[in-house]
Structure 1
Amino acid sequence: MEPGSVENLCVVYRSHDFLVVNKHWDVRIDSKAWRETLTLQKQLRHRFPELADPDTCYGFRCAGMGHRFCHQLDFSTSGALCVALNKAAAGSAYRCFKDRRVTKAYLALVRGHIQESRVTISYAIGKNSTEGRTHTMCIEGTQGCENPKPSLTELVVLEHGLYGGDPVSKVLLQPLTGRTHQLRVHCSALGHPIVGDLTYGQASGREDQPFRMMLHAFYLRVPTCTERVEACTPDPFVPALDACWSPHTLLQPLDTLIQVLRTAPDPGPTEGGAGPCSPSAPLPGPGQPPLPPAKPPETEAQRASCLQWLSEWTLEPDN
């Protein structure tokens, strides 16, 4: 996967109601700063000018696209991102995210060789109030951690190898909750920060070597009421694309886990959820059925958030 440009947006799924794109690393989804030279919003406008909303007083050049991003990816994270092409589709996708019916899986390279084949990471995550770190998150029990919330990530080790001569593990991550920076914080708390993570990585000076943060949204499935939106993006963490990465021990074939992900049943609809960023059941191992997650009833605040989310559909992004 080459660096992002306005012209090289990769679409991995398209229907009448949805797109799934393979977002480049170090690209923002959208931006309010006019100086932002490249955003996913601009890539979409370039690739699909027919999707631009003509009904704005500013005309096409400054018009908002007739779409809505169904979820978020960090600036530094690459991979599958779902875009709804109309308001009805956006509402349907929102319901899937809120009811934890969405299946997500990420690939990452992390520092060190993880000895366990599978790890469940359950550190509660809160906002960091420490001066100079207020833009970051932290785990419960650390200094300055405010309002930590339960968080759960499943990690499966795929390969051991070396990155630039240092021991590294390639892992598959499934977030079972949707906290800000959850995968990055959980990997760091486990003692195996993501390679190239300048915020939560090691302070040893080694993070100046990787050309990107090695976190990629690999698989996404959104079972809406009208269609099953499903996309699997190419694996960017292979030696052919990055000569610094040299795997030497295979622990779990990725193809096997892809098949498990694809054949796992969609979680059934529920009467509640934990918000638009909450994924579904944990990744099952071969022969293991997915575990049903706990789903508290929808609160008034969550319902208000949903209504606000949908009402903003017609708002024009300030680029």
Structure 2
Amino acid sequence: MNVSLIGKIKRGIKEICSATSNNSFPAVVDNPCWGLPSQCSLSDLLRCFEKDKVVVYETDHFLALNKPPDLRMDGHHPSTVLKLLTYWYPPPAFQNLQSKGLLEKVSEFENYRNIEGNELRPCHQLDYATSGILLVARNRQAADQARVSFEERSTRKTYLALVHGHLSVPSNIPVMRRTDIDERMGRLEEIYRQSRRKHRKDTYRGYQPAHGLFQQLQQQHNHILNLSWKEVKASGKTEPFDRAAEVFNKLQYKTLFPEDKSAELSLPTFFRDESEDPNTLFIYASVAQVPHDFAMRINPSMSNASAYLKVGDSSLDYKPSLTRCVILKHAAIRGQPVTKVRLEPRTGRRHQLRVHSALLGHAIVGDQTYKAPGSPDLTDRMCLHSQCLEIPLFEELIKVEAPDPFLVKNREILVQHL
């Protein structure tokens, strides 16, 4: 299947999902760059990728994978990281099974917790479309060690990406000192943590769930609402009360918590570190997730920052997010200009690198969610790759790397699937 046809299929899937208000379609469906939707079972995955190329680091405590692109972590899907690992590293109960029997047994499972005796635990997540380093613990002690390192942010992740167009650092962006950057970012995160401790947006005094509003109305107008909430739910007529509760709580929250202390401390959206190379810049933008929606939202204060990123409302939980971007090479794919960049997330938010790249006006090549309308489909995969992970484990700094899949030859980039 050629690149343009795959692009059309993925665009069509995205349009179907965005047009479906009841969320009955998943945001991402199995359409891997390494196989057709009808050919992405576990056996197909095993034929495409060899263990000695996928497993790049192995000890008694940890595995590090070079995760293929377009592969989910777990779930009911035909092929997942969980199923691949369980086939290669079967728990004791499976070890006597022959190859075919093992394949059939592993293919049944959706979650690693459902496999008796399986101690493999992914230590972090990678998006379906993202390739590269994924750390997996082989026992509970190792999983606890990794969890502490990620929670304390003593890890360092480095990604490679291809973005549309020839990206350059604007000459007029603010230049800041390293100490000021670290201090402001630390304060922004502390303010965010304090706000979460003081009042979660679904538990603050005065918050009303839909059934709470219904009960108040029923008490005041029992001659009209002569039903119980249980009967309303059974009839499927809760939507008006859900909408009313959402509006009520937004107004209530603004009234109770009008002050945004982070605004005066906020970093510029784009800026440079005065001590760094001129080809390096930072992107700062807080992002929020909407339940049952795949695309992340940017803060309403950034409504003019991008014409095609989704802007949220003031009620969402916006998390401060910072990314370091290093411009490596201007090149081309199929004659179209692209830039190879190194991205370092200083915070770990969902879709952070994808949203921040789009904010620059240079979305990641192959990103069907955040690309600008009309952008050409240059590849059959999203060009975001987790190249390196440095993490302290058992009092030792571990560094694992995956090969670069975006090779430049005569200013043309050759995109590899692994």
Shift of 1:6: 2.3
Give the corresponding residue for 1:77.
Answer: 130
Give the corresponding residue for 1:119.
Answer: 281
1:136 aligns with 2:295: yes
Question: Which structure: larger Rg?
Answer: 2
1:218 to 381, 387, 390: 387
Shift of 1:134: 2.4
The answer (yes or no) to whether the contact 1:22–1:79 under 8 Å persists in 2 is yes
Give distance in 1, aligned partners of 2:375 and 2:331: 20
Give the corresponding residue for 1:22.
Answer: 66
* Structure 1 segment 130-169 matched on structure 2, within 5 A: 134-141=293-300, 142=303, 143-145=311-313, 146-169=316-339
Structure that is richer in helix per residue: 2
Give the corresponding residue for 2:162.
Answer: 109
Question: Could you tell me which amino acid in structure 2 is paired with residue 54 of structure 1?
Answer: A
Identical amino acids, percent of aligned pairs: 38
Using a 3 Å threshold, how does the CA distance of structure 1 residues 224 and 149 change in structure 2: closer, same or farther? same
The answer (yes or no) to whether the contact 2:288–2:312 under 8 Å persists in 1 is no
Give the corresponding residue for 2:340.
Answer: 170
Shift of 1:47: 1.6
Return 5+ residue gaps in structure 2 as ranges. 1-32, 35-43, 95-100, 110-114, 170-278, 304-310
Give distance in 2, aligned partners of 1:229 and 1:158: 25
SS in structure 1 at match of 2:407:
coil
Shift of 1:5: 1.6
Give the corresponding residue for 1:41.
Answer: 82
Query: RMSD in angstroms over aligned alpha carbons?
Result: 2.6
With structure 1 as the length reference, what TM-score do the two structures score? 0.67
The answer (yes or no) to whether the contact 1:6–1:46 under 8 Å persists in 2 is no
Return 5+ residue gaps in structure 1 as ranges. 248-319
SS in structure 1 at match of 2:363:
coil
The answer (yes or no) to whether the contact 1:16–1:85 under 8 Å persists in 2 is yes
Using a 3 Å threshold, how does the CA distance of structure 1 residues 190 and 205 change in structure 2: closer, same or farther? closer
Give distance in 2, aligned partners of 1:244 and 1:203: 24
Using a 3 Å threshold, how does the CA distance of structure 1 residues 222 and 246 change in structure 2: closer, same or farther? closer
SS in structure 2 at match of 1:41:
helix
SS in structure 2 at match of 1:147:
coil
Question: Could you tell me which amino acid in structure 1 is paired with residue 93 of structure 2?
Answer: P
* Structure 1 segment 121-270 matched on structure 2, within 5 A: 121-128=283-290, 134-141=293-300, 142=303, 143-145=311-313, 146-207=316-377, 209-239=378-408, 245=413
Give distance in 2, aligned partners of 1:165 and 1:139: 32
Give the corresponding residue for 1:54.
Answer: 93
Shift of 1:245: 2.2
Using a 3 Å threshold, how does the CA distance of structure 1 residues 14 and 228 change in structure 2: closer, same or farther? farther
1:6 to 33, 46, 51: 46
With structure 2 as the length reference, what TM-score do the two structures score? 0.52
Using a 3 Å threshold, how does the CA distance of structure 1 residues 89 and 99 change in structure 2: closer, same or farther? same
Aligned length: 233
Shift of 1:163: 1.7
Deviations 1:198-252 (A, max 9, x none): 0001210513x31100000000011112443321100000147xx96279xxxxx
Give distance in 1, aligned partners of 2:364 and 2:375: 14
Shift of 1:86: 0.4
Give distance in 1, aligned partners of 2:414 and 2:89: 38
Give distance in 1, aligned partners of 2:335 and 2:390: 36
Give distance in 1, aligned partners of 2:342 and 2:81: 25
Deviations 1:131-150 (A, max 9, x none): xx922102212432422211
Deviations 1:264-291 (A, max 9, x none): xxxxxxxxxxxxxxxxxxxxxxxxxxxx
The answer (yes or no) to whether the contact 2:406–2:414 under 8 Å persists in 1 is no
SS in structure 2 at match of 1:5:
helix
Give the corresponding residue for 1:68.
Answer: 121
Give distance in 2, aligned partners of 1:90 and 1:200: 33
Give distance in 2, aligned partners of 1:83 and 1:246: 29
Structure that is richer in strand per residue: 1
The answer (yes or no) to whether the contact 2:331–2:412 under 8 Å persists in 1 is no
Give distance in 2, aligned partners of 1:118 and 1:200: 22
* Structure 1 segment 79-98 matched on structure 2, within 5 A: 79-98=132-151
